[in-house]
Amino acid sequence: MNNQDTTNQNSETKAIRAKQLQRILALIFFVLGVGLCMMSVSLDMIGLDLTPGFGAVQTLQFLLGVSCLTLAGFLYLYTLRQADAPKSLQADIGIRLGATGLVFMYVAGFADLVGIGTHVDPSFSRPFIGPLQLVGLFFGAASIIVGMLLYHSSRRISGGRSSMEFLVNGNGEKEEPTAQS
């Protein structure tokens, strides 16, 4: 066995360990996210809520849980990518769309506290999540899901082609460069 083979084996072992660590981190973030979301939703049922209804602390806890779930999802999808696959524009758009969905969810969740919600009138005892904010949370979650789907579908398939190449060529066929004389 020569020195080149040993170096290749070491780099492959490091890559496998890195993927395993990423998957473990994704699992930890997933469990943490599910736990935070379930705890924020179930505090009312077990009588540990600080305020009646879904308050600001529960909203923050729920949004932190969604943030952990989003991070876990993208981290896991990253482990499914080939190590030598170049990053595509579609993957970048997916990541940005997911991050925008998270920001949208935070703004919708805390709209009353920021002053752009429907319950900022002083006659209300405290801000709460209304129907318009629920719609905003839904659209934020949908944006995160679409971002993850775009990121996942951007993986390079065999032959080095993107799954969205049909948009450029119209038929999914890879155009061969023509020789000009």
Residue-wise pLDDT tens digits, 49-87: 666 667 777 888 889 999 999 999 999 988 888 777 777
Does residue 175 lie in a domain region? no
- Whether the per-residue pLDDT at 151 is higher than 80: the answer is yes
Residue type, position 172, single letter:
G
- Whether the per-residue pLDDT at 147 is higher than 90: the answer is yes
Does residue 32 lie in a domain region? yes
> For residue 116, what pLDDT is reported?
73
Does residue 142 lie in a domain region? yes
Does residue 89 lie in a domain region? yes
Does residue 43 lie in a domain region? yes
**Contact 102/68 with Cβ under 8 angstroms?**
no
> For residue 138, what pLDDT is reported?
93
Closest-CA residue to 84 (of 2, 158, 20): 158
If one compares 41 and 115, the residue with the highest pLDDT of the two is 41
List, for residues 7-43, the tens digit of each pLDDT value.
777 777 887 888 889 899 999 999 999 999 888 888 7
Work out how many domains the chain is built from and give that number. Answer: 1
Does residue 128 lie in a domain region? yes
HEC states along the chain? CCHHHHHHHHHHHHHHHHHHHHHHHHHHHHHHHHHHHHHHHHHHHHCCCCCCCCCHHHHHHHHHHHHHHHHHHHHHHHHHCCCCCCCCHHHHHHHHHHHHHHHHHHHHHCHHHHCCCCCCCCCCCCCCCCHHHHHHHHHHHHHHHHHHHHHHHCCCECCCECCCCHHHHCCCCCCCCCCCC
Q: Domain span at residue 34?
A: 3-166
> For residue 96, what pLDDT is reported?
94
Q: Which helix (H) or strand (E) holds 173?
A: none
Does residue 133 lie in a domain region? yes
List, for residues 87-114, the tens digit of each pLDDT value.
788 888 999 999 999 999 999 888 877 6
Does residue 174 lie in a domain region? no
